[in-house]
Each structure stands twice: as structure tokens, then as C-alpha cells.
């Protein structure tokens, strides 16, 4: 283990403003396990963040490199700021840039309270020899009843870890020789805990060894959203250039599944490098087009009409009394007061939304459609609508077939929409909300969008990399349906690779207490990439799904539903949208109608 370097200067105690930094003191003894749980900030023993005018002040990695406080501020990660990541609220250290701001994990006991569905750690690994493989170890969650459970925590390397799963990416490293342009990343990593049991403390993993250090900046229980049901969701598929949009209002049209007496929305700045300012927001029922049925109801964020969303983070609006009907179109409006040149986006909405003219100001409170002169076929920023009450939600993790590609625009005929209507029309099983986490062109094991930077590719990061954000962290999630793999196979992935990816998705979801339902992959002969070899690999993956030996809690045989009985490698012509890959409205309805609803519940 690398021993932390304490600094002996009055400037550190006073915040370091305008004071010279003295040389490091003599090395302290190696950190030993703290038996009495303490707040995390009292355990900080490493300084990862330096002021750009004094880049040698901090030593994150044992070789003198550190994060730039200026870069962090530019991303909206200011000292003491609450950063919401995958439904967990983490506090960026108040000491960042002035004093120790993280702890090198070595068995310390962290005081933590509350019941949770999971714990989220803000972490990174480092290596004094340069970019490495990250750091990992096993810690312990201790409960108030005296019991405990182990957890495994892995922290990707701050310089070499994947872009697709980072919480924030920063463009520079500070070193004693000055600043250099190289990407640095921090990660939010979530681990399961025993649901319903009250946490007393968390023991961090022991020192992973001399080759790497595991840095912990924050840890927080992630509450499972008791009393809320997810009614609508969309998955961020990329980060694309727009406009620029300046002092304009977006009016986004979304379709509910479950209804309830109160509502809140989730806005996300996923994949972004800079914060976004939301000047105001509202919700209303749609009359037609951009026109509301009645006056839109204003939304607030922490009691304020607007908010700033840091790079990579999300925010929930305050709950508001607003009766949300099931199976209805809502208008969610948001004012963007500043210039916005790129946005996190769900690209295949199959739904028209609306945009006011540049410079038109805050139109979120207007019931009429007159100000909304532009149209959108994407969903920027908005990733969720939750309603109060209800039994919870089914999340459908999928690709373009789930996303609704080739279904009728503005008609809500995606197969999850049809499933939602079926659930509400019966009383045999709970009438779950249905959350569509489909992304067109998405894959199980490979990223389309790399997870960083402005790109025209909106195929999303892989299902492996987005599972936490798009499924496990969804409000009220009870069941996950996995219907993916055709894009991996069309682009040449071996069947064994896809099977391993599906196994991993199922294991991670079940570890978190969710029911996992697997769906077989539909045929696509006639589409240019659906070769005979791809179909042979599809058959191998489907054989695994049908007889997976308990990997899935239940199976939906979507292949059998839409294939042509006389030619099983292709879609039945009556169900084919015409491109031989995507079912049309009739085929999507057939998928939803085929589901034995009891398979969705435990």
C-alpha cells in the first residue's frame, strides 16, 4: 500500500488561499483498520485535487499527479455539491482542492445509516507506475441487528478506465511539472445490500496491494424509491450536437403507463462534459400537438423553479400534486436559458415533440402551442416520469425492436406500450408500470456510442455498461425483461460472447433482488447483415435462453411468436415492417399479446 502523504502547512487548515505550501511531512505510519465507525470525511487521508496554479500540491496516484479543481468546477462538481448518480445522492467533498478529499481504502469503518436497496461509492483506482487495471477488494456491510454481509468493490483506473461507465470525465491532469492534456475519470459503483435491513456502518476493502490504490470520495445508501412507480422512461443513447439552442423551451411529449395522484420527473445530463442550466419546467396533459389541456403545472427543484445539472449527473423534480392518468400523453416542458450546443439524447422517440424559437424565453407556463414553432423527434435530457403509489415497474432492456423503430409515429404502438395496456386491463397480476429501456442499434457486449464526447452515433453504450443506470436504478423496478442480442450477432459477435453477456446481465439483476425474464431473439433473414451464419449463431443463443438452467426466472419465446412457420429464419410477412428486421405494428402487438403475465411476477 502507498502511505498517504500528510501536508504540514497552515494554508491547508485555512483552506490554502494565498498561502505557500510547505514540503510534505515525514511519512505517517501505515493506515490500520478503524474499529469505531467514523464519517467518511474524517477518514480522508489523500488529496486528489489541486489548484491549477499549484499543480504539485496534491498527489492522487503516488507519482504526483492530481485532478484539476478548475476542470471539476467547469463540470459543475463544486466542493460540497450534491451529485445525483443513478438515483443515489453523493456529496462531492467540501475539502476538494484544499485538503485531503478521499480515503485510501484499507479496512476503515465508515459510519452510515439507513435502509437501502444498494450502496453507491464514488471511487477511482490509481497506480504510481501510470495507468493501470484499477483496484478492487471485498468489504463488509454491517447492520443494526449485528449481522453483516460482504460486498465486492471494483474501482476502474482514473486514467485507463472505461469511458462508458464513468461518472465524470475531466480533460487534464495536474502534475508538479504543470498541467497536461489527458483524460481523468471518476466512477460511481453500486453494490447490493440486504433490502429492508438498517445499515449501521460499512467497512471498506483492505489495501489491494502495492500495485494499486482504491480511492473512495463518497458513499451513500441508494433508496429504492418507496411509494413511487416508474410510469415512463427513456434511455440516453448518445451526446449529439444541436442548435445551438439559446433561451428556448423544449416541450416533450411522453406516454404514461401507470397513473397516480402525484408526479415527479427526472432530468439527466448523462455523458455531458459541462453542466446544463434549467430555467424552469412544467408538466401538463396534452390536448393536441404542443397545446396543453389546461394550464401547465410548474415544477420545482429543491424548492426553486430552476436547477443546474452537473456533468454526468441527474436531478429529480420535487413531487407535485398533479393527477396523472394511465395511458395518456403528457407535455413536459423545460426552459434552457443559456446556449446549449450539445445534449444527451434518446434519438429514436417515434414521437413528435416541440421547440420554441431561439430567444423566445421561458414558455413552460403557456398552455397554447403558438410559441412552439419547431419540432423534435428525440427526447433530450428527460429520462423518467414517476407517479406516486402503484405496485412498481417492469423494465424492458432492449434494442430498436423494443424502442419502437418502424412502429407508427405518435401512436404509442411499441410492444411495451401494448404490454402496459394489457397489464391495466386485468387483475390477475399487479398492474406494473412499464419502462421502455430500448435503444436503437444497441448491443449486449459492445458499445456503439463510446460514452464520451460529441458523436453522431446514438446506439448507446452496451447493455452491460448501461444496466445500472437504465434498469437497476429505475424507480420501483421489480422485474427486468432482457430482449437483446440481434445487433451483436449481425455485427459478428460469437454466440458464446452474447451468451456470456446475457448471463452477466441476469446475474447482476438477480443479485439486486429483481426478477429477470429472458426473451429469445427474433429472426431477420432478408436484412443485409442477417446472414446464414448470423442466424446459426442466433439459434445457438436462443437455445441457451430457452434452456438456461435457471439463469432466467422465466423465458418469453419471442422468436416463436413472430417467425414464419414455413421459413423460421425470417419474420412472418404479416408481422414484417418491410425491412425484415423490425416487426411492424401487428408484429409488435403479437409480441406483447403473447406474454403470459404471470411470468413477470415472482
For residue 483, give the nearest of 394, 568, 368, 378 by alpha carbon.
394
Q: Are residues 456 and 363 in the same domain?
A: no
Cell numbers given for 508: 447482476
3-state DSSP of 6-48: CECCHHHHCCCCCCCCCCECCCCCCCCCCCCCECHHHHCCECC
- The CA distance from 436 to 416, in Å, is 6
164, 196, 222 - which closes a domain: 222
State the pLDDT at residue 30.
37
In angstroms, the CA 443 to CA 320 distance is 37
Give me the mean pLDDT over the 389-404 stretch: 98
Predicted local distance difference test score (pLDDT) of residue 6:
34
Is 314 a domain residue? Answer: yes
pLDDT of residue 493: 98
**Final residue before a domain boundary, out of 189, 222, 255:** 222
Q: Note the pLDDT of residue 225.
A: 81
**Rounded Cα gap, residues 270 and 468, in angstroms:** 13
DSSP conformation letters of 345-405: EE---SS-EEEPPTT----TT--SSTT--EEESSEESEEEEEEESSS-EEEEEESHHHHTT
- For 559-574, give one letter per residue: b (16+ CB within 10 A) or e: bebbbbeeeebbbbee
pLDDT confidence of residue 24:
34
CB 320 within 8 A of CB 262: yes
pLDDT digits (tens, 9 = 90+) for 125-173: 999 988 999 999 999 999 999 999 999 999 999 999 999 999 999 999 9
DSSP structure string for 254-318: EE-SS-EEEEEEEEE-TT-SS-EEE-EEEEEEEEETTEESSPPEEE-BTTBS-EEE-TT-EEEPP
Residue 272 shares a structural domain with residue 347: yes
**Is 356 part of any domain?**
yes
Q: Residues 493, 360: one domain?
A: no
C-alpha cell at 481: 425483461
Kindly state whether residue 232 falls inside one of the protein's structural domains.
Answer: no
Handedness of CA 302, 308, 312, 314 (dihedral sign): positive
Is it the case that residue 507 has pLDDT exceeding 50?
Answer: yes
Given this model, what pLDDT does residue 598 score?
98
252 and 373 share a domain? yes
Q: Are residues 65 and 43 in the same domain?
A: yes
**70/89 Cα distance (integer angstroms):** 23
Q: Which of 340, 356, 380 is the last residue of a domain?
A: 380
Residues 454 and 588 placed together within one structural domain of the fold: yes
Question: What integer pLDDT is reported at residue 481 of this predicted model?
Answer: 98
153 shares a domain with 44: yes
Q: Determine the Cα–Cα distance for residues 284 and 158; give it in Å rounded to an integer.
A: 43
Rounded mean pLDDT, 41-45: 97
CB atoms within 10 A of CB 473: 25
Give domain status of residue 304, yes or no: yes
- Provide the pLDDT for residue 174: 97
Q: Are 213 and 125 in contact (CB under 8 A)?
A: yes
Distance CA 539, CA 47 (A): 53
Compute the distance between CA of residue 496 and CA of residue 541 in angstroms, rounded to an integer: 8
Look at residue 103 and tell me if it is in a domain.
yes
Tell me the C-alpha distance between 275 and 308, whole Å. 6
Q: Which three cell numbers stand for residue 104?
A: 485510501
What domain count does the chain have? Answer: 3
How far apart are the C-alpha atoms of 255 and 327, rounded to whole Å?
Answer: 6
Same domain, 344 and 398: no
Closest CA to 185 of 164, 159, 165: 159
SS3 192: strand
Report in angstroms the alpha-carbon separations of 312 from 165, 270, 451: 10, 4, 11
Span 337-394, pLDDT tens digits: 999 999 999 999 999 999 999 999 999 999 999 999 999 999 999 999 999 999 999 9
What are the backbone angles phi and psi of residue 404, rounded to the nearest 5°?
Answer: 100, 10
For residue 196, what pLDDT is reported? 83
**pLDDT tens, 69-103?**
999 999 999 999 999 999 999 999 999 999 999 99
What pTM, to 2 d.p., does this model score?
0.93
Is 196 in the same domain as 252? Answer: no
Residue 592 to residue 585: CA distance in whole angstroms: 11
pLDDT value at residue 540: 98
Strands 118-126 and 109-115 come out as: unpaired
Q: Is the pLDDT of residue 469 over 80?
A: yes
- Same domain? 89 vs 178: yes
Asked if 234 contacts 252 with a C-beta cutoff of 8 angstroms, the reply is no
Residue 469 per-residue DSSP state: I
Distance CA 384, CA 474 (A): 8
Average pLDDT over the chain, rounded to whole? Answer: 93
> Higher-confidence residue: 20 or 584?
584
The reply to whether 252 and 342 lie within a common domain is: yes
Predicted confidence band of residue 296 (pLDDT cuts 50, 70, 90): very high
The pLDDT of residue 602:
78
pLDDT at residue 475 in the model: 97
Under a CB-based contact definition with an 8 Å cutoff, are residues 300 and 317 in contact?
Answer: yes
Instruction: Show the domain range for 270.
Output: 240-380
Residue 223 CB neighbour total at 10 angstroms: 15
Arithmetic mean of pLDDT, 497-506? 98
Query: What percentage of the chain reaches a pLDDT higher than 70?
Result: 94
264 with 159, same domain: the answer is: no
Domain assignment present for residue 133? The answer is: yes
Bridge-based pairing of strands 353-355 and 238-255 is: antiparallel
Query: What is the structure's pLDDT at 100?
Result: 97
Q: Which of 399, 380, 395, 435 is nearest to 515 (CA)?
A: 395
The CATH number for 553's domain is 3.40.50.1110
Mean pLDDT of the region 107-121: 95
* pLDDT at residue 300 in the model: 98
Strand partners, 262: 321
Contact 434, 390 (CB under 8 A): no
442 and 460 Cβ atoms separated by less than 8 Å: yes
Do 296 and 353 meet the contact criterion of CB atoms below 8 Å apart?
A: no
User: The cell 463544486 sits on which residue?
Assistant: 78
pLDDT at 16: 30
**pLDDT tens by residue, 510-537:** 999 999 999 999 999 999 999 999 999 9
Q: Percentage of the chain with pLDDT > 90?
A: 91
Cα three-residue angle 221-224-227, rounded to 5 degrees? 135
Amino acid at each position: 500500500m502507498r502511505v498517504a502523504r500528510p501536508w504540514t502547512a497552515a494554508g491547508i487548515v485555512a483552506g490554502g488561499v494565498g498561502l505557500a505550501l510547505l514540503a510534505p511531512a515525514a511519512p505517517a505510519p501505515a493506515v490500520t483498520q478503524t474499529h469505531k465507525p467514523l464519517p467518511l470525511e474524517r477518514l480522508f487521508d489523500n488529496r486528489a485535487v489541486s489548484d491549477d496554479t499549484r499543480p504539485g500540491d496534491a498527489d492522487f496516484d503516488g507519482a504526483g499527479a492530481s485532478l484539476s479543481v478548475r476542470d471539476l468546477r467547469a463540470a459543475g462538481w463544486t466542493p460540497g455539491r450534491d451529485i445525483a448518480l443513478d438515483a443515489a445522492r453523493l456529496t462531492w467533498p467540501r475539502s476538494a482542492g484544499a485538503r485531503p478529499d478521499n480515503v485510501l481504502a484499507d479496512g476503515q469503518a465508515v459510519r452510515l445509516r439507513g435502509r437501502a436497496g444498494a450502496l453507491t461509492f464514488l471511487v477511482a483506482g490509481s497506480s504510481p507506475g501510470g495507468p493501470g487495471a484499477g483496484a478492487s477488494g471485498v468489504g463488509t456491510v454491517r447492520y443494526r441487528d449485528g449481522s453483516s454481509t460482504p460486498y465486492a468493490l471494483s474501482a476502474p483506473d482514473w486514467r485507463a478506465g472505461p469511458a462508458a461507465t464513468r461518472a465524470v470525465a475531466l480533460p487534464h491532469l495536474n502534475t508538479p511539472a504543470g498541467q497536461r492534456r489527458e483524460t481523468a475519470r471518476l466512477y460511481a459503483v453500486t453494490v447490493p445490500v440486504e433490502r429492508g435491513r438498517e445499515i449501521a456502518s460499512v467497512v471498506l476493502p483492505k489495501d489491494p496491494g502495492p500495485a494499486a490504490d482504491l480511492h473512495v470520495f463518497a458513499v451513500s445508501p441508494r433508496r429504492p424509491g418507496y411509494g413511487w412507480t416508474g410510469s415512463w422512461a427513456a434511455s440516453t443513447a448518445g451526446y449529439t450536437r444541436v442548435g445551438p439552442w439559446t433561451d428556448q423551451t423544449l416541450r416533450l411529449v411522453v406516454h404514461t403507463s401507470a397513473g397516480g395522484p402525484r408526479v415527479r420527473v427526472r432530468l439527466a445530463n448523462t455523458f455531458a462534459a459541462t453542466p446544463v442550466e434549467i430555467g424552469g419546467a412544467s408538466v401538463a396533459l396534452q390536448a393536441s400537438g404542443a397545446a396543453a389541456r389546461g394550464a401547465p403545472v410548474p415544477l420545482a427543484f429543491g424548492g426553486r423553479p430552476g436547477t443546474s445539472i452537473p456533468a454526468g449527473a441527474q436531478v429529480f423534480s420535487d413531487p407535485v400534486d398533479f393527477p396523472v392518468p394511465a395511458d395518456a400523453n403528457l407535455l413536459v416542458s423545460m426552459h434552457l436559458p443559456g446556449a446549449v450546443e450539445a445534449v444527451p439524447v434518446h434519438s429514436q422517440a417515434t414521437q413528435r415533440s416541440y421547440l420554441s424559437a431561439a430567444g423566445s424565453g421561458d414558455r413552460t407556463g403557456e398552455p397554447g402551442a403558438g410559441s412552439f414553432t419547431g419540432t423534435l423527434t428525440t427526447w433530450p435530457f428527460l429520462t423518467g416520469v414517476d407517479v406516486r403509489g402503484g405496485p412498481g415497474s417492469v423494465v424492458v432492456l432492449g434494442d430498436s425492436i423494443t424502442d419502437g423503430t418502424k412502429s407508427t409515429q405518435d401512436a404509442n404502438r411499441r410492444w411495451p406500450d401494448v404490454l402496459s395496456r394489457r397489464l391495466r386491463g386485468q387483475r390477475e397480476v399487479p398492474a406494473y408500470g412499464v419502462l421502455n429501456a430500448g435503444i436503437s442499434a444497441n448491443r449486449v457486449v459492445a458499445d456503439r456510442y463510446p460514452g464520451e464526447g460529441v458523436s453522431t452515433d446514438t446506439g448507446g453504450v452496451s447493455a452491460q455498461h448501461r444496466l445500472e443506470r437504465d434498469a437497476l436504478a429505475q424507480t420501483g423496478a421489480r422485474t427486468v425483461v432482457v430482449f437483446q442480442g440481434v445487433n451483436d450477432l449481425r455485427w459478428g459477435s460469437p454466440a458464446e460472447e452474447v451468451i456470456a453477456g446475457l448471463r452477466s446481465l441476469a446475474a447482476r439483476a438477480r443479485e439486486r433482488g429483481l426478477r429477470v425474464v429472458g426473451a429469445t431473439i427474433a429472426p431477420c433473414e432478408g436484412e443485409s447483415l442477417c446472414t446464414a451464419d448470423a442466424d446459426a449463431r442466433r439459434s445457438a443463443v436462443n437455445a441457451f435462453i430457452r434452456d438456461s438452467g435457471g439463469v432466467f426466472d422465466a423465458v418469453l419465446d419471442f422468436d416463436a411468436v413472430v417467425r414464419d412457420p414455413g421459413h423460421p429464419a425470417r419474420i412472418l410477412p404479416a408481422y414484417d415492417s418491410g425491412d425484415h428486421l423490425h416487426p411492424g405494428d401487428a408484429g409488435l402487438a403479437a409480441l406483447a399479446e403473447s406474454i403470459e403475465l404471470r411470468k413477470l411476477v415472482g
